[in-house]
Structure 1
Amino acid sequence: MKEQLIAGKTIDSWKQKHPLLKKVVDTEEVFWANPKYKSYEQAMKNIGITEDDVKDAEERLKRFAPYLERVFPETQQSNGIIESPLVEIHSMKQCLRDRYEVDMIGRLLLKCDNELPIAGSIKARGGIYEVLKHAEELAIKHNLLSTEEDYGVIDSQAFRTFFSRYAIAVGSTGNLGLSIGIISAKIGFKVTVHMSADAKQWKKDLLRSKGVAVIEYTSDYSKAVEEGRRQSETNKNSYFIDDENSINLFLGYAVAAYRLKRQLEDMDITIDENHPLYVYLPCGVGGGPGGVAFGLKLVFKNHVHCFFAEPTHSPCMLIGLMTELHDQVSVQDFGIDNITEADGLAVGRASGFVGKTLEELISGVYTIDDDALYILLKDLADTENIYLEPSALAGMLGPVTLIKEQAAGELEDQGLVHIVWATGGSLVPKEIMEAYYKKGAIL
C-alpha cells in the first residue's frame, strides 16, 4: 500500500525535518518554541490588520452597551460592557509548585473569561461582537439606526420584527455556538448552530431553550463548519459566521487586550522590559486565542509573550505552524484522532488566517494531556474555589512548562507576570461540574 503524502512528503520525512513531530504524533506532551518569532516591529510589517481596526471594534462595543445593559441584566454592573475579572491565584501557584516540583517564579494571575456575562466563555467576546456588527450594518443600511443614537432602541418589537427577516448560522464545538446563538436569538435573528459530535449535550439543550435551531453531526468540527457554510449560502438573507476565517471575530477578541492593560494598571502591575508578561491561551481553531494574542502584542509589543495550549490529541495549530502548512494540513493527516475531553479545543484543522497572521508573533505552543486537565480542574477548585470547564485548564500548565523548558533560563524572578486565560466554565450545569471534579479526584 502506498504511503500517504502530506504536501508531497511522507510522515517520516516530516518527522526528520521536525524531530519534535514524532512526540506530537505519539500524543505526548510537548513544548515548541517558535523559530519564526520576530520582534513586534518586524512581524507587524507583514500584517494587514491595524490598531485602528481594533479601536473601531472597541467603539462599536461601547455603542451597543446601552442595549446589552437593557436585555442582559447581568451586564448592568459593568454598564453593558462584557468583561471579566483578573485575579491573582497565590494558592494555586503553591499547588503547581508542589505538584510539578518546579520553582514557580513570578506572579500568577487568572483572567476569568469563565465569568464573562451572557455566554460564560471567551466566545462572549468575538461571537457576540460579530453578531452586533452585522446587526448594526443591517439597521444602518435600512435607515433604522445611526451611530449617534442610543442603541437601547434596538430592544423593541419593531427591531425584532426587522431582524427576524434575517438568519445567522455558525459551526461550533460548543462555546462559540452558545455565544452566537444566545445573542442572535435575543436580537431577533433566526439562528442555526451546526454542532460537531464532541459538543456537550447541555450546550445543545441550553441553545434549544433559547429558541436556537441546533443541527447535530456525527463527525468533527470541520464538517459542522462546512455544512453550516453550505446551507447558509442557499439563503441570501443568511449570514454565516466563519470561525476559521473571520476578521470580525478576531477583532472582537483583540479588544480584550486594552481592557487587560487597565486591569493590570489598577493592580499596580507594570509591564515593561524588566517586567515581561507571559500569557497562556487554550487554542482550538485559533480565533479566540489568536485575536487576544494579537491585541496583546499591539498593547505590550515586545514585552508580552503569548503561548497557545492544545490537547495532545488535537494539536492543530502546533502542526500548522510547525510544518508551515497551516490549514492545508489536519491532525488526522498525521494519524492523530482529534478525540479529546476538551470540547472547545477538539479541532483537527487550524485557522489558516490566524496561523499566517501570528506566525511571527506567537512565542510558542505546548500540548497537555486530557488527564492533566481534570487534575488541574480539581486543584483550582480546591485552592481558589474557581470552577472551570476542562478545556479552560489548558492554560494552567503553561508557566510550569515554560519554567521547566527554559526558555526560562532567561526569566528573571522579580518582574515576571504569568496570566493563564480561563476560557469558560460558569454555564456548566452543577451536576456536570461535580462529575468533572470527581474525575480529577480519581486521577
Structure 2
Amino acid sequence: MILNKTIEQWQNEFPQLGDMMEYRETLWLNDNQAAADSVLPELILSEDDILSAEARLKRFAPYIAHVFPETADSAGIIESPLTELTRIQESFKEIVGKKINGSFYLKEDNKLPISGSVKARGGIYEVLAFAESLALAAGLITEDDDYKKFAGPDFKNHFSQYSLVCGSTGNLGLSIGIMGAELGFKVLIHMSDDAKQWKKDMLRSKGVTVVEHSDDYSKAVEQGRADSLKDAKSYFIDDENSKTLFLGYAVAAIRLKAQLQEQNIAVDKNHPLNVYLPCGVGGGPGGIAFGLKVVFGDNVNCYFAEPTHSPCMTLGMMTDYHDKISVQDFGIDNVTAADGLAVGRASGFVGQLLAKLISGSYTVSDENLFKMLAVMYDEENIKLEPSSLAGVIGPAATHSKGTHLAWSTGGDMVPEEVYKEYYLKGKNLI
C-alpha cells in the first residue's frame, strides 16, 4: 500500500504509471496549466525577487572577474552561449524516428565558467548571498563598496569560521565547493553513491571535505541537513527547498531574453519558445522555468526531462503528491548514468510552485542519452555529460511546434578519459 492505495488503484487513477514502472519513455502533459498572468501573482516569489538576485550577482561581478580570470571577458558575469544546432537534425531523426519542426538551440550551461554546469547558477549564487550577509553583518562591507574586497584576507579569515554543507549527486557540490573554498569557507559535501568519482576527486583537490554515502541522493541530503543542524556556524544549502538557490537559477531567464534578442529570435504568440530542462530534484530546472514564465508568460512552454529510471518530478506532478511519494515506492530503481538526475523524490516546493505553470514532462532511456551524446559530438562538436542530453530529446518527445531550446546541464568539466567512455558507449549503441 502506498498512501493507503494499492498499486492497481494507482495505475487505474494514473494510467501512464504502468509505462513508467516498466521503464518505458513517457510523456505527461499538464492538464492543470493556467495562464501565467493569473498564476504568478499568487506565488510566494515574484519578478522583484529575481531582479534582486540579478543585482546581487552584478555587485559580485568585479570580485568574480578578479578571482576567476576565465570570467574576465564577461566582466565577472557567469553566463553561457546560446548556440543554434544546425547539423544534428538528420541523425536525430534516425535515432528517435521523428523530425524536428522548427529551429533548434542549445543553452550551453556545459560551458558556464568556474564549475561547468547549470549548478554554477544556483550554487554559486547562494554561496555569494550567504557571504554577503555575513560581510554586511560584520561591517566588512556595504552594498556600495567594490566587492573585489571579498578577495582580501579579512574576509577569508571571517568566513573560515563558517561551514557550508550540502547533499549532492555531483554538480551542485562542485559549484558550492569551488566557490565556497575560494571565499575561505570550510565546505562539506555529502555525495550519493551515484556521484561520479572524478567529481569527488576534483572537490577534494580544492580542499573540500567529501562524505560518501552508500545510498541515494535523498539520504545524502538528509544526512547533510542533520549534521549541519548540530553546528550554529554551519550553513546548509538545500537543493530541495532553498528559495535563494531557486532565484539564482531564475536569473538565467533575464539573460536568455537578451541573447534571444541579440540573435533576432522572436518569442511571441505566433512564435512560441519550447524549453526542455533536465530535471533531478527540481531546483535548477524549476528556478529557470519560473524565471522563463515571469519573462515570457504564455509564450514559453517549459518541459522537465528525466531518465526513465528516475522520473521523480513526472511522478510527483502527475499525481499531485509531489514529495509525498518516491519512484522507489513504485519499484522504480533510481539507477541511471545521468548522475545529476538520479533523484527518487522530487522537491515539493518546486512541484507545488510550478503546478499550474509547467507544460509537462517526459522521460528518456539511458540508451538514448548515450546515443545523442555521441551524435552531439559528431554533428555539432559539443561535449555533454549524459544528463545534458535529456533536454536534447525534447522536440521529439513533446511534438511541440515553434522554436526549440534544450538546456544543457554540464559536460566541459568531464575528464577526457571519462568522456571517451561515454562517447564510445553511445557509438556502440547506435
State the alpha-carbon separation in 1 of the partners of residues 76 and 237 from structure 2.
23
Gaps of 5+ in 1: none
| Contact residue 81 and residue 107 of structure 2 kept, 8 A | yes
**1:94-173 to 2 correspondences below 5 Å:** 94-173=90-169
* Match of residue 43 from structure 1: 39
* Match of residue 86 from structure 2: 90
Give the counterpart of 1:234 among 230, 238, 252: 230
1:297 aligns with 2:293: yes
**1:362-377 to 2 correspondences below 5 Å:** 362-377=358-373
1:398 aligns with 2:394: yes
- Compute the RMSD of aligned alpha carbons: 0.8
- Following TM superposition, by how much is the alpha carbon of 1:279 offset from its aligned partner in structure 2, in angstroms? 0.2
1:431 aligns with 2:417: yes
* Match of residue 12 from structure 2: 16
1:422 aligns with 2:408: yes
* Match of residue 426 from structure 2: 440
State the alpha-carbon separation in 2 of the partners of residues 45 and 179 from structure 1.
32
* SS of residue paired to 1:53: helix
TM-score (norm 2): 0.99
CA displacement 1:71-105 (0-9 Å, x = unmatched): 10111010000000001001012321333332321
Gaps of 5+ in 2: none
Moved more, 90-99 or 165-174: 90-99
Give the counterpart of 2:258 among 253, 256, 262: 262
- Following TM superposition, by how much is the alpha carbon of 1:219 offset from its aligned partner in structure 2, in angstroms? 0.4
User: Which letter maps to 2:178?
Assistant: I
**1:334-345 to 2 correspondences below 5 Å:** 334-345=330-341
* SS of residue paired to 1:255: helix
Give the counterpart of 2:180 among 178, 184, 207: 184
State the alpha-carbon separation in 2 of the partners of residues 331 and 297 from structure 1.
28
State the alpha-carbon separation in 2 of the partners of residues 420 and 303 from structure 1.
16
CA displacement 1:202-223 (0-9 Å, x = unmatched): 0000000000000000000001
What is the aligned residue count?
A: 429
State the alpha-carbon separation in 1 of the partners of residues 330 and 95 from structure 2.
32
Share of identical aligned residues, percent? 56
**1:190-201 to 2 correspondences below 5 Å:** 190-201=186-197
Give the counterpart of 1:320 among 316, 321, 332: 316
CA displacement 1:314-351 (0-9 Å, x = unmatched): 00001101111101110001111100000000000000
State the alpha-carbon separation in 2 of the partners of residues 288 and 356 from structure 1.
15
State the alpha-carbon separation in 1 of the partners of residues 275 and 8 from structure 2.
33
- Following TM superposition, by how much is the alpha carbon of 1:42 offset from its aligned partner in structure 2, in angstroms? 2.2
- Following TM superposition, by how much is the alpha carbon of 1:43 offset from its aligned partner in structure 2, in angstroms? 2.0
User: Which letter maps to 1:429?
Assistant: P
* Match of residue 282 from structure 2: 286
State the alpha-carbon separation in 1 of the partners of residues 270 and 242 from structure 2.
35
State the alpha-carbon separation in 1 of the partners of residues 414 and 32 from structure 2.
38
State the alpha-carbon separation in 1 of the partners of residues 90 and 254 from structure 2.
29
* SS of residue paired to 2:76: coil
State the alpha-carbon separation in 2 of the partners of residues 132 and 44 from structure 1.
27
CA displacement 1:156-207 (0-9 Å, x = unmatched): 1111111001110000000000000000000000010000000000000000
| Contact residue 313 and residue 346 of structure 2 kept, 8 A | yes
* SS of residue paired to 1:109: strand
1:311 aligns with 2:297: no
State the alpha-carbon separation in 2 of the partners of residues 207 and 7 from structure 1.
39
* SS of residue paired to 2:235: strand
TM-score (norm 1): 0.96
Moved over 6 A (4+): none
| Contact residue 40 and residue 294 of structure 2 kept, 8 A | no
* Match of residue 389 from structure 1: 385
* SS of residue paired to 1:90: coil
